[in-house]
Amino acid sequence: MESKELVETALNALDRLLRMFTIERYVYLVLTAVSFLLLLYAAFLMTTAKDANTEVLVAVFGGSGLIAASSARISWFFNRAFTLIEDLIRRLGQ
């Protein structure tokens, strides 16, 4: 198989894979945006409040935890997608 055909096949497979998980990526994007807004709210509460109450701590740890979870999931997804493409290229190249 030619090198150009191999690259086209791999890119087509990656495109199909990314289209399959479009909704999942949008869900994680929305989750990250909501978490960022929660962190902004927590920053506002910390600057206006004299002491750290439960509401501020929940906003800080909740927002940062949601960002960490969604970032880890997106990273895992892209790592898996590119691993599948790498395996495809290896198999087609043999």
Model confidence band, residue 1 (pLDDT cutoffs 50, 70, 90): low
Instruction: Give the chain as a 3 state SS string.
Output: CCHHHHHHHHHHHHHHHHHHCHHHHHHHHHHHHHHHHHHHHHHHHHHHCCCCCHHHHHHHHHHHHHHHHHHHHHHHHHHHHHHHHHHHHHHHHC
Q: Is the pTM of this model over 0.75?
A: no
Q: Mean per-residue pLDDT for 28-36?
A: 87
At residue 25, does pLDDT exceed 70?
yes
Q: What burial letters (b/e) apply to 8-19, b meaning 16+ CB within 10 Å?
A: eebeebeeeeee
Q: Mean per-residue pLDDT for 38-43?
A: 86
